[in-house]
Structures are given as structure tokens and as C-alpha cells.
Amino acid sequence: MTLVRNPILPGCHPDPSICRVDGEYFVVTSSFEYLPGLPIHRSTDLARWELIGHAVDRPGMLDMAGMASSSGLYAPTLRHHDGLFWVICTLVDQNDPARGGNFVITATDPAGPWSEPTWLGADGIDPSLFFDDDGRAWVQGTRLARSPQWHDQTEIWLREFDPEARALTGPEHVIWRGALIGAVWAEGPHLYKVDGRYHLVAAEGGTEMHHAVSVARADAVTGPYVGNPANPVLSHRQLGRTADVVAVGHADLVQAADDSWWAVLLGMRPYGGLHANLGRETFLVPVEWEDGWPVFAPGEGRVPDQVEVPFAGEGRQERSATIAPDDGRWTSVRALPGEVADAVDGEWLLPIRPEGPTDPQPFAFLGVRQQHPDLDFTLRLSGRLAPGEETGLLIRQSERDHVRLAVLGGGEADAARITATLVRAGESAEQGTITLTGPLAEGVELTCRARGQDYELLAGVEGSQPLRVATVDGTSLDSFSSGGFLGLWLGAYATSVAAETDSVIRVARVEYHPR
């Protein structure tokens, strides 16, 4: 028996959805404005997970230009039916609700390629697919209640789905409005048929401290659904702000080959106070059935640090090494990495763009998720900068909240001026500055040493001791402080600050070391 450490997918991997096919498990998670989108991980034992691809990974599949941070791809569901993998998801533009909507894509291999999106025309968010054993298929989704009894009351709707036409059909049924009176954001619905009954698992309470899992069941897929007397069946909200894991919810169930049941769900690990810089991560809990109801984390009632999985091999291995361009962890903002940079001989060539970290547009950025509270992240950059241009290391929450460790153009030919800037709620404040002897053309190393909420920023030239530029307090960067739905990303960026340019930055020897 193996003890599997939680979270199983550390770093920003929210809204997990899982399915099992031929002895393998597949999980998809939300990715918001980052592309490639909707990462898909594979495991044979629920313990060791491998990133095998993304469901949105080609130019032109979706247009996210101009979308604000924490817009984009919300709450996908992954299912397998009749030889096809199905992903159903919502594209959300918080500034323009009319843009985007619910769509479905399919693939014979979850690693891809995936089909072009088919738009369903249904409103709301968090769509889910259910394939019944009678051959019929159904879509469930969430929207604000048409006749709300309180603010932010939602309702979960159900409509039949035609897999051949990839279209909704038949009448709509509103099947759930939340387990508790006054409950907000009943969302993330998933349906299962167990022992002849239909079971609805839904999130409730919002995605922060009051997040929870509730369950209802019915004799017919269209209802009526009756709530579990134990609702909410899993939550950490009663544990308060000092709990090791908070904001637990958005669960999806899977049955293993040995007939045991498991749930993946999201949660956050605060540190340095109520700050969760890693974002909403994917956790695993066992599930048992008692009196026809699922019991999450039986005998414990909370997400454990470790889960006993009888059929698992060795647990997750920490990844610590150079991150090459062909590593699947690379993402960009509102664009694919290959659309903003070129991979050449194991390095990135990053053309400078007029757009920058404060713009809600694709910009020259290559980043990876922060997955550990303590880490060393290093970039080696080289190139030539014109006056007004800059390149450097970006710690990104959003356009309005981030940290830039920047190499500035326009200085002395044999020196590089380095500044650290904290952007909080759109306001910039310089944190420190140094000058290095030696031009950027010969290479500058930039490092972020994160130790909890202290982000120490250093710069140096190869072969010399790096110099401290500043230490930034990271407590302003997480979603509890800044809003939004994301954890932090670390990466390389470059901008000409609105000017046209043909400058190119070489990004080499990118290293991520957990500590």
C-alpha cells in the first residue's frame, strides 16, 4: 500500500475532472487565460501523474485577445464514451459576457489532437456531460437563477445532448438550486448513475473560504433531486483560516478497477497567513458509499495530507532541473508559446513586442506555474535592448498584480541596469535597483529565491556571485489579496513599452529547483 501525497497536482490546477479508461486515469483542469489550455494529466495508479498534452493547443482554436486576467477557460469536464474522449468547457470574458460560451471538443487520444470547438449556445458556466446506460446523453450547467431568492443564487439546468450532431436537444430541466437556503454559486455539477439512481455532485458556497461539496439524488435523470441530509458532505470552511487546506470543493468522482471510489477536488494551501500563492490545486480523497450516498474521506471528513491507495506505486517525484522548450509546462498569456517565441537548439528566442505585462493582450511571455512555496527559479537572458525596451523575470498574478525583475535598455554599453518593481492593484512601486558590469548581450542571470512569502530577487553575470536587487513581500500577489482565480506563474518577458521594434531576447538555461 502506498501513501499518496496531497495535492496530487500542485500549483494552479483548479476544477479537476477525471475519468478512467482501460486502466488509466485522466484529469483535466482549468487554465483561464493561459495557453496551451486545459492541461491533461495521465496516471495508472492515482499517485504518479504525467502531463500528456492540452485540449486547446493550436493557433486559432480560441481567441482570448483582450480578455482580462481570470477570464478564459473555466471548469472543463472530461468523459469517455464510444471510443471518444469528450471535453466540455466554458470560455468566459469577464468584460464582455456575450463573448465566448460553452463548447465541446473530442479526441480519440487524450494527448490530442482535439477537434475544433463546437459551440452549444447554452448560457452559464461549468458544463458537464453525462452518458447514461440507456444510450442517451445529457449536459448539465450552471447559471444565475432566472428568479433568484437571494444574491448570487444559481440554478443547475439539464438538457439532452445529441453526440452525433453535437447539439443540445429537447426541453430544459432546472434540477438544483443548492443544498442550503442562502447558498451562493451552486456550480460545477457532475452526474453519475450508481445502483440505479442518479447522483448529482455539485460545488456550493463560492470558490473561496466557504467552498463545499453537496450531493443530491433522484430516481430519474430529470429529477426531482433530493439533497443528502448530511450536506454539505465535504468542506473545510468550518476549520477557519488556520487550516492547512482551505476552499475545498468542486469534486468529481471516479471508480477504480478494484471497484473502490475516489474523488478529485480543488483546495488551497495557505502560508504566511491567509495567502495561497500556489492557487487552487488538485487533491485526492477516498469515497465510500453508505445508505446509497457517497461519503468523502470517510472517518476523517477532511482532505488528508496523505491518502492510502492500495494499488498505487511510488508517489509523486519532485521535478527539479532545467526546463527545456519542449517541456509541456511552458505557457503564455492569451497566446501559445510558439506564437510569441521560437524554440531553437534547446533555447527560446523571444521577439520583443510592444505589449507588456500590464496589457490585457498577448505579450512576449514564457512561464510555468509556481508549484512550491520554497524554490529557486533562474533565467539566463541575452540580447540587445534599445532605449525604452526591457526584458526580465516576471512573477505574474495578473496585469494589475505582479513583480518585474527587469533589465532596462538605454544605459551604458558595458553595463546593465536592473530594477525590481512591484505592481499592486495597478500601482507600481520600485523595490530596488542595481547596475551590473557587463552588457546584456553577453548574458545576465536573473533569479527568484522564494522562501514562503519572501521573494528575493537577484541578478548577476555568469561566473560571478549574484547581487540582491530586492526582497518582495508576496502576500499582495495571491488571489485572496488581489482577487481572481489564479496562482502565480514565473517566467521570462520582454516589452518595448508600445514602441515598434525588431529586438530579440535569447532565453537560455531556465531552471526550477524546489527547496
Task: Count structural domains, the chain.
Answer: 2
484 and 349 inside one domain: yes
251 and 359 inside one domain: no
Q: What pLDDT shows up at residue 469?
A: 98
Assess if residue 271 is contained within a domain. no
- CATH number, domain of 71, equals 2.115.10.20
Residue 229, all three cell numbers: 441530509
Assess if residue 311 is contained within a domain. no
Assess if residue 482 is contained within a domain. yes
Q: What pLDDT shows up at residue 79?
A: 98
Q: What pLDDT shows up at residue 337?
A: 98
CA 278/CA 208 separation, integer angstroms: 14
Tell me which H or E stretch contains 34: strand 34-35
DSSP per residue, 186-249: -EEEEEEEETTEEEEEEEES-SSTT-EEEEEEESSTT---EE-TT-SSEESGGG-TTSSSEEEE
252 and 331 inside one domain: no
348 and 216 inside one domain: no
217 and 77 inside one domain: yes
Range of the domain at 174: 13-226+247-258
Determine contact, residues 85/34, Cβ cutoff 8 Å: no
355 and 253 inside one domain: no
Determine contact, residues 445/396, Cβ cutoff 8 Å: no
Assess if residue 309 is contained within a domain. no
Residues of the chain with pLDDT under 50: none
Q: From 236, 258, 280, give the residue that closes a domain.
A: 258
Determine contact, residues 366/358, Cβ cutoff 8 Å: no
DSSP per residue, 175-198: EES-SSTT----EEEEEEEETTEE
Assess if residue 219 is contained within a domain. yes
Q: From 258, 282, 312, give the residue that closes a domain.
A: 258
206 and 329 inside one domain: no
SS3 at position 460: strand
Q: What pLDDT shows up at residue 187?
A: 98
Assess if residue 167 is contained within a domain. yes
Q: What pLDDT shows up at residue 316?
A: 67
Q: What pLDDT shows up at residue 321?
A: 85
CA 419/CA 432 separation, integer angstroms: 6
CA 141/CA 72 separation, integer angstroms: 17
HSE at residue 338, side-chain half, CA atoms within 13 A, is 8
Assess if residue 335 is contained within a domain. yes
- Against a cut of 0.75, is the pTM above it? yes
77 and 197 inside one domain: yes
Q: What pLDDT shows up at residue 318?
A: 67
63 and 138 inside one domain: yes
360 and 504 inside one domain: yes
211 and 354 inside one domain: no
56 and 138 inside one domain: yes
Assess if residue 285 is contained within a domain. no
Q: What pLDDT shows up at residue 97?
A: 85
CA 274/CA 282 separation, integer angstroms: 19
Distances in whole angstroms, Cα of residue 295 to Cα of each of 5, 49, 308: 20, 25, 16
**What are the start-end ranges of the H helices in 315-472?**
337-340
Burial class (CB in 10 A: 0-12, 13-18, 19+), 464: exposed
Q: List the catalytic residues.
A: 15, 187
HSE at residue 477, side-chain half, CA atoms within 13 A, is 28
Q: What pLDDT shows up at residue 406?
A: 97
